[in-house]
Structure 1
């Protein structure tokens, strides 16, 4: 399974989103459309803080999320520190992640991917066991995340595997196995997959591919079978 092949399976996702709010919120629908989503705006006589987004999937109601959560993700994703928050620290963000799961987004920025990755890392930290596989494209990129991953490794029983192009010799870190790659299988891929030690309720994965124009297109999922499939594919890259 290549990343491109995997992502093509989500190209026909039937997701429609309607933004309800004052005229100042119309730009949110435009930003959603730039992600390749079917998005529209409906005026509602309310303030920005009370605006919301209704999401339909396959013609049926799926979720309602606060517009503030969507705007934070689209415009200024929250990037965590080395601290690991509680699962319900941001209910709006949790709703948004759930609502957009298994939805192909066509113009993701590194900041959006990093925010999503950190949420999944937080989940792995809270579970405290299982295997976490991460692709940093190039191993040298890991340096900016080293402190965070050292905390993940030292505070938990996680089995962490980091993949990337062999452009840097990583240090020895207990609990972390590095996989230097010499081919281009994951060169343009941003990937994180967590098997939650077999707990289907906590499995999660993010897969994104850098496009020629610069942004990434990708999808995240909580579906156990898809997460298992991604985990297996990553292992095969280094065999």
Structure 2
């Protein structure tokens, strides 16, 4: 029985996966953007020229086998040319959020990601994964979504985040939000508020979706990240139903 969010890091598979950029025609700055997204992570990036294969393709490889593929254009449009302000302001509609297959395929790979000013890109990966989980919940139209914000006032201060949780809550999802009680999101949003000042409320970042049995999608999804240093996050995401259920139950009973 895991007694903390940190304990779930011991339960992930932590597979050894790498990215291969195939037949690149995009200029070096595009490759540099990809490098900056995964700088210092366990996911190696290499390049190869493979005849009779599409250009500007990115492959996700594990044990010599290709397990996912995306185009560089998909990575550019969804992550590499995006900044976090577009999500905060609501410039990107929830239905437009996409996570390329090669990034979704990094599930259960542990990351250590830095926010600004250490990095302009690394933390964005957690933001995009969070939005993807929220989109899954909105599309399903039921189930339970649990999300932490450190400061509950973010749900008011960030117009885009406020709109996302208005949409998700209005579609029949049981939404629970967690954080320091510096605001009352329930005054304007269809959410259940959980306030606290212990470590999980102040220093955790989680978005956990447990779908109902009758939902069109049975896609469980969870992101868990912990801020052990200022603006430096240890995190992972998973789509494994049994692990997502355990994380959701821990949050429901321990927080």
Output the TM-score relative to the length of structure 1.
Answer: 0.81
Equivalent residue number for residue 103 of structure 1: 109
Q: Does residue 70 of the first structure (1) align with residue 51 of the second (2)?
A: no
> Which of 133, 136, 146 in structure 2 is aligned with 1:123?
136
Count of residue pairs the alignment pairs up: 231
SS where residue 206 of structure 1 aligns? Answer: strand
Equivalent residue number for residue 205 of structure 1: 222
Could you tell which deviates more after superposition, 224-233 or 167-176? 167-176
The verdict on how the C-alpha distance between 1:11 and 1:60 changes in structure 2, with shifts beyond 3 A counting, is same
Alignment root-mean-square deviation, CA: 3.0
Question: Structure 2: where are the runs of 5+ without partners?
Answer: 115-121
Displacement after TM superposition at 1:11 (Å) = 7.7
Question: Structure 1: where are the runs of 5+ without partners?
Answer: none
Render the CA deviation track for 1:91-126: whole Å, top value 9, x for unaligned: xx3413432222222226443322221121111111
The verdict on how the C-alpha distance between 1:12 and 1:50 changes in structure 2, with shifts beyond 3 A counting, is same
Q: Does residue 194 of the first structure (1) align with residue 204 of the second (2)?
A: no
Equivalent residue number for residue 153 of structure 1: 169
SS where residue 120 of structure 1 aligns? Answer: helix
Equivalent residue number for residue 15 of structure 1: 17
Determine the C-alpha separation between the residues in 2 that align with 1:192 and 1:215: 17
The verdict on how the C-alpha distance between 1:129 and 1:40 changes in structure 2, with shifts beyond 3 A counting, is closer
Aligned positions of 1:1-239 closer than 5 A: 1=2, 2-10=4-12, 12-20=14-22, 21-22=24-25, 24=28, 25-27=30-32, 30-31=35-36, 33-44=38-49, 50-71=55-76, 72-74=78-80, 76=82, 79=87, 81=91, 83-85=93-95, 93-107=99-113, 109-143=122-156, 144=158, 145-154=161-170, 156-173=171-188, 175-198=190-213, 201-212=218-229, 214-238=231-255
The verdict on how the C-alpha distance between 1:12 and 1:45 changes in structure 2, with shifts beyond 3 A counting, is closer
Determine the C-alpha separation between the residues in 1 that align with 2:68 and 2:111: 17
The verdict on how the C-alpha distance between 1:3 and 1:68 changes in structure 2, with shifts beyond 3 A counting, is farther
Output the TM-score relative to the length of structure 2.
Answer: 0.76
Alpha carbons 1:139, 1:165 under 8 Å: kept: yes
Alpha carbons 2:75, 2:100 under 8 Å: kept: no
Displacement after TM superposition at 1:82 (Å) = 7.4
Displacement after TM superposition at 1:68 (Å) = 2.7
Determine the C-alpha separation between the residues in 2 that align with 1:18 and 1:32: 15
Alpha carbons 2:178, 2:194 under 8 Å: kept: yes
